[in-house]
Structure formats: C-alpha cells, structure tokens
Amino acid sequence: MWTSFNIVMWLSSIFMSRIIWNSEAIPLDVYDFHSTQHSFQINEFNNKEISGKFLHITDLHLDPYYLPNSNPKKYCHRYAKKSKKNKSGKFGTLGSDCDSPYALLDSTFSFLKENFHDADFIIYTGDSLRHDRDSKIPFPNDDVISGHKSIVKYVTESLDLSKTKFIPTLGNNDEWEHNQLEGGPNTLFENLTQIWAPLNLNLTSEFANGGYFRQDINSKLSVFSLNSMYFYESNDQIKDCDQINSPGAIQLKWFKNQLKNARQEGRRVLIAQHIPPLDSDGESSFLPQCEEKFVQLLGEFAEIISGHFTGHTNLDTLTFVTESENISGKYNLYYLDKDEGPSKKSTDNIILILNNAPSIIPGKYSTSSKMFGVLSDYIQYYLDINKANEIGRAEWKIEYIASEAYDMKQLSPSEWAKVLDEMKSDQSESWQNYLKFVTVSSE
C-alpha cells in the first residue's frame, strides 16, 4: 500500500489525502516545462533565476488527534481494549477513515526541503484539515484556525519563501463546516488573510470577498487560485451561476476579466482549485450553470492556459476539454474513466488537459521565450505506507514519469490526443499504465 505525490516543472503542489490511502499508493507529482539556455528573472523573488520546476500538492488532511497504535475503527483517535485491534501505523493507516498523522507530514515536507528547494513555486489545492467524522471529538472554529496555521508553519519552516512561492487554495474541508461556505466577505476569509500573511500572497479585495486571487510568478506567467466552493453543488449556502449576484457568478466574471488581461499582456496562466468539475465517476461536481460557464471559459482561453490542477478525489486522473464538432465555439468535458476507456467516447478536438492529483506532483515547464510556461513533463512519486510503518521511516520513490509512461514529447493537447487514440486498444501499454496509475500503484 502506498501514498504518493507529483512533481511538476514548474513546481506543482503536494497532495496528501485520506481517501488515497485506500489505494495502493499515495502519490506526488512533479511537472516539467520545456527548458532551454534562456532564463527569466522573477521580479517578485528578488531577481532569482527560475528553474522551470514547480510542485502540485493537495489534501494534506492533518489530524492533530491521530494516535499511532490505536484503533482505526475509532478514526485512530482512541485505543481499543483488545490490543489486537490497535493497528494504526506511525505514518498513517491505509484502508481506514483515519486522516494524516504528523509523522506523514513531517516526512513529506522533509522530502520537499531536501529535494525541491529549487522549485519556483508550489500549488497547493487545499483540504488542510481533518475530516469531521468523529462525533466524540468536536470540531470548533479554533481547531479550523489551528489546522490552517499548522500547514503554514510547515511551509515557512521547510521552504525559502523568497525563492519558492507557496500558493494555496480552499478545499471543501477547510471551512467552519464541511462542504459549506457562505458568500463573502466572511470570517473565514478574514482569518485566512491573517494566517496566510507569512506567505506574502496577493490577497486583494477579491480574496476578502470571494476567496480567490491571482499570483504572478513573473511577467509571463500567473497562477489563478480559484475558490471551487462557490461552484460546488454540495455547498447549500450558494446559488447557481445563472444568478448574477451569486458568489460563483461573481467569481466567473473576475476569472474572465483576468483571462482577457492575460491574453492581452501575453501571459500564460495556471489554474488551481480544489474540486474538479467532474468527480471520480465522471459526474458533475459543480452546479449546472457554474460548470457550463466555467468550461466555456476554459475553451475560449485554452491557448493561454498552460495547466489546470485539482485534488479532492484522491485519484490520479485526466479530464479533457474538447471542442464540439457540431457547434463551433462550444466546449465539453471528457473524463478518462478507468472503467470505461476512451474507445467509448470521442476523443477528437482536444484543446486542454485538466490534471487531478492524489498527492504530490513535481513538474516542469518551458522557459523559452516562445513556449514559456508550457508543461513539458511531470513525475509521480509515492510512499509505501505499510513499508514505512514496518521499517519506521519514509522512503519516497518515483512511480512514473509521464513522458515515458505515455511516450510523449511534451504534455500538449495534440500529444495527448495521440495517447488517447492509442488507449482505444484495451491492451495498449498506455492504457494499462493509466489503469495502474489512477489508484497509485508501482506494481
């Protein structure tokens, strides 16, 4: 059994989630951009030369009440009278409803500090807090605040923020109440503005009112941290995006204006949000009009969007934005379902790829003047939780490298179209790899 993360160049973020522990591995992804002899300086980072690497992290779910050698059926919070039932491990407990212990986050951030200190930035797609499952342990607002502070403490102690920008988003477990977030301004945004202050983020009035913001990496690349809670169908505090004053509609208006500005200024953008538009079954996660309007914006501005990163499902999956063959300018989503396969649906006219991570992913992006910010590769790392518990230490290893696993030159829509075409054969190596990687397996 494993845990994993992805490394992307740019640095993508680390994603640790509870549900992923039910699979064989916990992942970490690393992304690559095309690299050349050219280099650009990041104005915000004291003229530091960029490396073309970034990390994507998600779903850390830190549980301060986690007890090693306790009863997993009691959420790893209490001991059973019969000692044989006390099976929770030091680094986590696979196949349970337990969240992440300090030991797992310690090992994760130590691994990041040792191996990715040259990352340009880290995208963190949310869910910092434990799940509110244990009726015997209340989840007061003070615990929400302390949970967010704990993640910031890990970040500030592990990273040199003058060199590596940490860019967070809000998950559905990051609020006062699970899945619920009212329109802003609200007390959560007020608290997060103070808690995230050490990260030196661009938290303007848009964040105070809506929980989203734009973070410029330099004059050629920006990260949009979106608040998917204002699109999420399970959030009963909001209305659909056809309501002009709904939080989602207001966010979409801001998002469109930011995309227009980026296009005019010749900037590429990366989009980060916690919840993907489609869930692990390929069904909509967003309110109907929020999804429709959001997808049309992705399609309309696909040429400047270098990447879209989410977490939440705890699976390593791909979703594609496609252009309709029948209606010009009409865009749709196609989810690559491991239970269905690309042979069941059309995979033509791919214009954008949405990456969903189960944990930590490092990546690369191009630093050439013409291709700056274009994703070129990513690496998925994993941690064997059972082995770590057995030997008493965490050993992060590479699960796969995207360019090698799928035989791609770069992570472009045209290259992904070729991969999907090959995957139409159930016995193709690329399809068999995808089936294996979805749930994080190195076997």
198 prior amide bond cis, ω within 30: no
Within 10 angstroms of residue 328's Cβ, the number of other Cβ atoms is 7
The answer to whether residue 193 sits within a structural domain is yes
Residue in this structure with the two tokens 């939080």, named with its chain if needed: 247
Q: Which domain holds residue 216?
A: 3-438
CA 285/CA 230 separation, integer angstroms = 11
Nearest one of 1, 3, 11 to 363, comparing CA atoms: 11
Rounded (to 5) percent helix, strand, coil in the chain: 30, 25, 45
Q: Which residues of the chain have pLDDT under 50?
A: 1-2, 7-26, 33-47
CATH number at residue 369: 3.60.21
- pLDDT at residue 45 in the model: 44
Tokens of 1: 């059994």
> Are 360 and 15 contacting, i.e. CB atoms less than 8 angstroms apart?
yes
286: helix, strand or coil: strand
Task: Tell me the pLDDT tens digit for each residue of 334-389.
Answer: 999 999 888 766 667 999 999 998 765 556 667 776 778 788 899 988 899 999 99
Q: What is the DSSP string of 296-345?
A: HHHHHTGGGEEEEEE-SS-S-EEEEEEE-SSSTT-EEEEE--TTT-GGGS
CA 141/CA 212 separation, integer angstroms? 21
Provide the domain count of the chain. Answer: 1
Strand partners, 76: none
Number of neighbours of residue 425 by Cβ within 10 angstroms: 14
285 in a structural domain: yes
What is the reported pLDDT for 328? 74
Q: What is the pLDDT of residue 23?
A: 31
443 lies in some domain:
no
- pLDDT score recorded for residue 341: 84
The 10s digit of each residue's pLDDT in 312-326 is 998 999 999 999 887
Nearest Cα residue to 165 out of 223, 82, 238, 92: 223
Contact 199, 152 (CB under 8 A): yes
Classify residue 111: in a domain, yes or no.
yes
Alpha-carbon span 260 to 435, nearest angstrom: 37
Buried b (16+ CB within 10 A) or exposed e, 7-26: bbbbbbbbbbbbbbbebbbb
Q: Write the DSSP symbol of residue 62.
A: B
Angle between helices 247-265 and 288-300 (to 10 degrees): 0
CA torsion sign for 254, 256, 262, 267 is positive
Q: Could you tell me if 59 and 15 are in contact, meaning their C-beta atoms sit under 8 angstroms apart?
A: yes
